[in-house]
Amino acid sequence: MSGVAIVTGGTRGIGKAISARLKGDGYTVAAIYGGNDEAAKACADELGIAVYRCDVSDPEGCAETVSRIEAEHGPVAVLVNNAGITRDGMFHKMSADQWRAVLSTNLDSAFNMTRPVIDGMRERGFGRIVSISSINGQKGQLGQVNYSAAKAGLIGFTRALAMETARKGITVNAIAPGYVETDMTSQMKPEVLQSIVAGIPVGRMGKPEEIAHAVSYLVSEHAGFVTGAVLTANGGQYVAA
């Protein structure tokens, strides 16, 4: 496949693996990142992709960045809403800032990025949108009321938008990864991670590349009949309905 693919948070972790995979699939990849210029530069050099600094929680910034990407590379065929953060804490101690940061970066971002690309996709009769949700949006997780709410919101976003766009050749899907080896999970306490891994039937955490393969399939021409789906990739840790 060819065309332009935007990957938010595409310079580190799961997003970097997605950028690499889509580049390998033949796309022109534009990766968006939040503030880590050093990681972004290293990723751009390593993968040979374009990188754009843009806060995905800022609607105007997202619209401007999409315009810039389209001016520099052409119309967007694929959007992967992957950027995300955690600000964990028990709900009775959670601040409004912790709530807002997670909701705006993980959920508002899907609106902020998808809204500027959707008209062009509708006009051209083709588009692929994939959002990275989480196992914890499916089952809930203590200490992550904010994150679980945001990731569950992405699932509703996906299903409703899939219905609206199906006849326009646009598919909208989500992936709900379980625990994957990235900077995000390396911040967790080792004993917490150990107990989580003990509860994963395959006996290990996931690798970023395993999520990237799933994205590659969902955006491919072979997946035109798959829309509104939530693909779980969690080593059997949670079998969602």
* Token reading at 47: 């993968």
User: Of the listed pieces 19-27, 122-130, 180-188, 212-220, which binds ligand NDP according to CB under 6 A?
Assistant: 180-188
Active site residue 217: no
Which residue is it, tokens 């990407």? 69
CB of 208 to ligand NDP, least distance (A): 6
Q: Examine residue 85 and tell whether it contacts ligand NDP (CB under 6 A).
A: yes
How far is the C-alpha of 179 from the C-alpha of 134, rounded, in Å?
9
How far is the C-alpha of 59 from the C-alpha of 61, rounded, in Å?
5
Which of residues 15, 116, 127, 235 is near ligand NDP by CB under 6 A?
A: 15
Q: How many residues bind ligand NDP (CB under 6 A)?
A: 31
Residue of 147, 179, 217, 238 with catalytic role = 147
Closer residue to ligand NDP (CB): 12 or 128: 12
How far is the C-alpha of 107 from the C-alpha of 97, rounded, in Å?
15
Strand partners, 113: none
Q: Examine residue 19 and tell whether it contacts ligand NDP (CB under 6 A).
A: no
CB of 118 to ligand NDP, least distance (A): 19
- How far the first Cα of the chain sits from its last, in Å, is 32
Is residue 106 within 8 A of residue 149, CB to CB? The reply is: no
Which of residues 28, 112, 134, 148 is near ligand NDP by CB under 6 A?
A: 134
Closer residue to ligand NDP (CB): 34 or 59: 34
Q: Examine residue 14 and tell whether it contacts ligand NDP (CB under 6 A).
A: yes
Contacts of 154 (CB under 8 A, 6+ apart): 81, 106, 107, 110, 131, 132, 133, 137, 174
Site string for ligand NDP, 22-61 (x = CB under 6 A): ----------xxxxx--x---------------xxx----
CB of 181 to ligand NDP, least distance (A): 7
Which residue is it, tokens 């976003």? 157
